[in-house]
Amino acid sequence: MNLDVVIIGGGLVGVASAHFLARGGARVCLIEKGDLNRGASGQNAGSLHFQMEHRLVEHGEAMTALAASMLPLSLDAIDRWGGITSELGEDDLDVVMHGGLMLAETPEQVAKLERKRAHEEKWGLPTRMLDQAEVREMAPYLTDTVLAASFCPVEGHGNPRLITSALARSALAQGVEIRSGTGVTAMRRRDGRWEVDVTGPDGEGDRIEADMVLNAGGAWAGRIATLAGLHIPVLPVALTMNATTPARPLIGHLIQHVGKRISMKQLREGNVLIGGGWSARMHRKGDQFDLSRRPASDLDSIQGNVTIALDLVPELEQMHLMRSWTGTVGVTSDSLPILGEVPQAPGYYVATGGSGFTLGLTYGALMAEHMLTRKTELDIDLFSPARFNHVNMFMGPK
């Protein structure tokens, strides 16, 4: 097949890109080293968090203002998640958008929440402040140390186990070739096209050619870029998640905190998922982190994470911790996503970083639009890999 695009990585970002590219008429092959959705996309907390997270507002006003420039991506994501069930013609993708609360427990945190909300208001994100009495009325399950909260009525959660496979079904139906168990081992640009060398499930080698390559490798994106002689500064970061045993319906919102690392939600099965950016331990191999192994759990992280959850929702004490697991996310050096074509490597595109579950559909749609039309309605210049031109002056072997 005369391919337009080879996508590397079968997580949410790669598969969503395949779906939208195919919908735009592109001939696409997606290659995934392991199985689809076995990376961060299948291990995450599933939070659809559109408010600016704790990690984005804890480094002062200038960094908060920069992070606020991602809010147009969140606005796009709100529409995409709201419409994805009907877009894919699926009965039930378990997408819940009942609202989310970001909590504050000290006067300083309330002030930070107000500053955060001012940025959100400027960019048009629907949020409003609730005082202590309003929080109690809306979320009586929360501890009474909560002084205020910002409420976003469209926050919620999606089911990481369902969305990627639904998008993959749609991509396949539109003619996308998906090759699982197939890892990219080398790539080069020759005569205006990209040659991508891969190794398949039985160790057999193959070469795929296409006009464009999309690196959707998540935590592996930096390593995949190296295969093309490029620097893409994505750092693999290991995170922990926790789930309780099922309980009666209690927590009706996505819960976050402006001053603490916590995300919490109750699934329809009754389990409460507790996360929010607590670390796990990556294995090492020589002087590299070993990304082929699932990170090890860290008991201090689990305890720290669960302690905050218990402080905020005292009734959690009635539940048992059922399972903890880890996953590896790709974090960019400046916390902004990397979306677009690498100027030194025409036809080589990257989509990674940021809150890739919440924004995964948006990344996929934007990349398809960008790759097919060379422009996007939403301005993504700020997220271009061109901001790393200063480290990509010399491209590696052609």
Ligand X SMILES: Cc1cc2nc3c(=O)[nH]c(=O)nc-3n(C[C@H](O)[C@H](O)[C@H](O)COP(=O)(O)OP(=O)(O)OC[C@H]3O[C@@H](n4cnc5c(N)ncnc54)[C@H](O)[C@@H]3O)c2cc1C
Stretches 19-27, 45-53, 122-130, 373-381: which one binds ligand X (CB under 6 A)?
Answer: 45-53
Minimum CB separation of residue 176 from ligand X in Å reads: 15
Residue 241, interface with ligand X (CB under 6 A)? yes
Residue 47, interface with ligand X (CB under 6 A)? yes
Helix/strand/coil (H/E/C) assignment for every residue in the chain: CCEEEEEECCCHHHHHHHHHHHHCCCCEEEECCCCCCCCHHHHCCCEECCCCCHHHHCCHHHHHHHHHCCHHHHHHHHHHHHHHHHHHCCCCCCCECCCEEEEECCHHHHHHHHHHHHHHHHHCCCCEEEEHHHHHHHCCCCCCCCCEEEEECCCEECCHHHHHHHHHHHHHHCCCEEECCCEEEEEEEECCEEEEEEECCCCCEEEEEEEEEEECCHHHHHHHHHCCCCCCCEEEEEEEEEEECCCCCCCCCEEEECCCCCEEEECCCCCEEEECCCECECCEECCEECCCCCCECCHHHHHHHHHHHHHHCHHHHHCCEEEEEEEEEEEECCCCCEEEECCCCCCEEEEECCCCCCCHHHHHHHHHHHHHHCCCCCCCHHHCHHHHHHHCCCCCCC
Residue 33, interface with ligand X (CB under 6 A)? yes
Residue 313, interface with ligand X (CB under 6 A)? no
CB closer to ligand X out of 41 and 64: 41
Q: Which of 151, 194, 220, 349 binds ligand X (CB under 6 A)?
A: 220
Minimum CB separation of residue 131 from ligand X in Å reads: 27
Minimum CB separation of residue 117 from ligand X in Å reads: 20
Residue 184, interface with ligand X (CB under 6 A)? yes
Stretches 30-38, 112-120, 332-340, 387-395: which one binds ligand X (CB under 6 A)?
Answer: 30-38
Minimum CB separation of residue 395 from ligand X in Å reads: 19
Q: Which of 51, 156, 168, 218 binds ligand X (CB under 6 A)?
A: 218
Q: Residue count at the site for ligand X (CB under 6 A)?
A: 41
Stretches 25-33, 168-176, 187-195, 206-214: which one binds ligand X (CB under 6 A)?
Answer: 25-33
Binding site residues, ligand X, CB under 6 A: 8-14, 31-34, 38-41, 43-47, 183-184, 216-220, 224, 239, 241, 263, 275, 327-329, 352, 355-358, 360
